[in-house]
Amino acid sequence: MRLSAFSSLQPGALTAQYYDLDEHDHPEGASTLFGFWLYLMSDCLIFAMLFAAYGVLGGNYAAGPGPKDLFELPLVALNTAMLLFSSITYGFAMIAMQRGRTAGVQGWLVVTALFGAAFLAIELHEFSNLIADGATPQRSAFLSAFFTLVGTHGLHVTFGLIWLGTLLVQLAKHGLTDAMRRRLFCLSMFWHFLDVVWVGVFTFVYLMGTLR
């Protein structure tokens, strides 16, 4: 008898245990958005570390040029506008998706991509100007930290654009299926997240750098 093994135990110590060996019903993609949110939060920590590095090293010019000599605020304002416009146009794409209009989604995504590309073009123009003036990442700790922080953000935008292009191809192929809706929503979170990070960049790097 199996129970005899427990005969030395107190009666109250016998508790029933259940092991659920069967798979639960997990609807497809039910955890995608939460998983992607966790990715964004970890990405947030990458930027936190880069901001911390910039905060620590941002004043070490090594007798080289400082923020006041280098930053052109009108250009940064234009860049900020591009990213903000791309945020609202992606919002319009999400509205079109909710209404089930594939062509509307595609149109707004293309507009978003154009604004994103304009942002990148302006940023690359700024970087090439800096490097032409001798303000390279090797010049000082301030410039190393600056190029790492702003460059990492720019790389994120670049990959966002590649992702956007991929989704446009998939959208033409599959239409607005549930899987496509999830993918488009994930990219929308990624895109808006980049705008949130940019708020930190233009405030703490450009505006406060100019004030310093």
Partner 1 sequence: MSALHSDTHGHDAVPHVALKDYATGFVLSVVLTAIPFWLVMSGVLGDKALTAMIVATFAVVQVVVQMIFFLHMNTRSEGGWNFLALIFTVILVGIVLSGSLWVMAHLNQNMMPMPHAMNELP
Binding site for partner 1 (CB under 8 A): 27, 29, 33-34, 37-38, 41, 44-45, 48-49, 51-53, 55-56, 63, 73-74, 77, 80-81, 84, 87-88, 91-92, 94-95, 97-98, 100, 176-179, 181-182, 184-185, 189, 192-193, 195-196, 199-200, 202-204, 207-208, 210-211
In the complex, minimum distance from the CB of residue 11 to partner 1, in angstroms, rounded to a whole number: 39
The residue (of 158 and 210) whose beta carbon lies closer to partner 1 is 210
In the complex, minimum distance from the CB of residue 182 to partner 1, in angstroms, rounded to a whole number: 5
Helix crossing, 178-201 with 73-98: angle to 10°?
Answer: 160
The residue (of 80 and 144) whose beta carbon lies closer to partner 1 is 80
Rounded Cα distance between 59 and 70, Å, is 14
The residue (of 131 and 181) whose beta carbon lies closer to partner 1 is 181
Q: Taking a C-beta distance cutoff of 8 angstroms, is the pair 183, 167 a contact? A: yes
**Which residue stretches of the chain are H helix?**
32-57, 67-70, 73-98, 102-132, 141-174, 178-201, 208-211
Rounded Cα distance between 173 and 131, Å, is 42
